Structure 1
Amino acid sequence: EWAKAFNPFFAGENADWLAMIPFGILALILYYVGRELLLSGKKTRA
């Protein structure tokens, strides 16, 4: 009862979209790591 009334992630019109936010953030982080924009280490000059 309490979760339905006060937690928008649990129930409501936009609960599915709100639940996707953490997965979207994780997907962006993994994308940037894969493109070596994050956690790429030191770049050496050739």
Structure 2
Amino acid sequence: MLIREYMLAFEIIGLLLVATLIGGLLLMRDRAPENEPENGDASV
């Protein structure tokens, strides 16, 4: 019984970590395009 509970806990923690990583990547992707044109225009 304890093993199953630990497995469920690790699975939940893993899913949360994956969700946070995906969310972070999506946020970085949303912010990156806004900064890239500004840097491109400034260099040109």
Q: TM-score, normalised to structure 1's length?
A: 0.46
Would you tell me which structure has more helix in proportion to its own residues?
2
Q: Which has the larger radius of gyration?
A: 2
